[in-house]
């Protein structure tokens, strides 16, 4: 039984620092991404890169953050840089990765926060259903493009790079559990079918794909070079529910008023997974601050088969776009 009231969360330990280090936060112009950036600056980050779709909005956020740092005398020397990253488009992901590799010598932390939830079926320019494109495909491509760069940086610094992917408990309620893919069918192809789209289900579907991919990738990585985990901060009071029809939005506003965490608390949870949790969190899903067991579906024979199938299908898609690192082959 799920508790309606979420447990209280303690702040990040005061001695947690990010002095002299570099972080990239996707979806950093609002909500959790912006708050995580703010908290990293308070930890004396050397540089934070706001990876955003809307550069003008990102620059406005960056200026606000600079003013906050000056006013509060926190990290006044931190570099705040805005870079374009549109997760709707493969070419934008690849341009961003190329620019990052060329302009930033080392990235210590990559927060994969950008994500969407849609009420109606939409398609990206790639032809894929848009929720799956933004939440899954583009994140996988970004990891593939940056993995050798992150590993090289770890060799330079002597510490593993960290990837913390913002996930969701919603992956435990995926349509794959309720309506398994037919024998011989493909998971990603099915996700693109109009008839497979369900408003309430698609966000959870996308987050299941992310979790399955992480569980496949992590054993292929050397945690002395790259530690990857996935973190669910629970319900947080952000604008994601604004896509809902007005009658459902009003209900969600009431629910969030009683149950949702603030973005500050959500930021604590994400940065716990990114900075406080140790190597034991590699390849794990964290609910709040605790490492969680794999979901019932993922642990089942059907889920394990889906994980293998998804890996193969994803590698086939990524191979069309870029030269894959050895961990993907």
Structure tokens at 79: 């570099």
Say how far apart CA 22 and CA 263 lie, in whole Å: 22
Q: Which helix (H) or strand (E) holds 290?
A: strand 290-292
Residue 268 near residue 14 (C-beta atoms within 8 A): no
Give the CA distances from residue 94 to residues 86, 101, 150, 205, 306, in Å, rounded to whole numbers and listed in that order. Answer: 10, 11, 15, 25, 28
Say how far apart CA 29 and CA 56 lie, in whole Å: 10
Say how far apart CA 167 and CA 115 lie, in whole Å: 9
Q: What DSSP state is assigned to residue 129?
A: B
Of 90, 137, 207, 215, which is the active-site residue?
207
Say how far apart CA 165 and CA 329 lie, in whole Å: 21
Whether 203 is catalytic is yes
Structure tokens at 310: 């998804």
- For 113-242, list the strands marked E by DSSP: 161-166, 226-232
Residue 111 near residue 37 (C-beta atoms within 8 A): no
Whether 294 is catalytic is no
Of 22, 203, 215, 297, which is the active-site residue?
203
Which residues are catalytic, by number? 203, 207
């Amino acid at each position: 039984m799920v508790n309606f009231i979420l447990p209280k969360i303690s702040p990040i330990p005061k001695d947690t620092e990010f002095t002299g280090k570099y972080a990239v936060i996707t979806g950093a112009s609002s909500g959790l991404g912006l708050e995580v950036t703010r908290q990293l600056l308070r930890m004396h980050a050397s540089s934070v890169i706001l990876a955003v779709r809307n550069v003008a909005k990102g620059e406005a956020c960056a200026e606000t953050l600079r003013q906050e740092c000056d006013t509060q005398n926190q990290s006044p020397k931190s570099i705040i840089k805005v870079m374009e990253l549109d997760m709707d488009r493969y070419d934008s992901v690849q341009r961003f990765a190329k620019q990052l590799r060329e302009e930033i010598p080392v990235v210590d932390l990559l927060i994969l926060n950008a994500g969407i939830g849609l009420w109606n079926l939409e398609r990206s320019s790639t032809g894929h259903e848009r929720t799956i494109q933004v939440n899954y495909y583009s994140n996988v491509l970004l990891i593939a493009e940056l993995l050798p760069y992150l590993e090289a940086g770890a060799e330079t610094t002597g510490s593993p790079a960290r990837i913390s992917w913002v996930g969701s408990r919603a992956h435990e309620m995926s349509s794959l559990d309720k309506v398994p893919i037919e024998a011989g069918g493909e998971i990603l192809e099915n996700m693109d079918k109009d008839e497979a789209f369900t408003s309430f289900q698609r966000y959870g579907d996308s987050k299941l794909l992310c979790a399955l991919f992480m569980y496949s990738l992590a054993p292929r990585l050397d945690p002395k070079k790259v530690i990857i985990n996935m973190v669910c901060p629970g319900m947080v009071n952000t604008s994601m529910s604004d896509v809902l029809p007005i009658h459902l939005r009003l209900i969600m506003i009431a629910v969030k008023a009683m149950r949702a965490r603030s973005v500050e608390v959500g930021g604590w949870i994400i940065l716990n997974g990114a900075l406080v949790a140790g190597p034991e969190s590699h390849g794990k899903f964290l609910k709040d601050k605790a490492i969680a067991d794999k979901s019932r579906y993922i642990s089942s024979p059907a889920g394990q088969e889906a994980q293998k199938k998804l890996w193969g299908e994803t590698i086939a898609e990524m191979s069309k776009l870029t030269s894959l690192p050895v961990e993907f082959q």
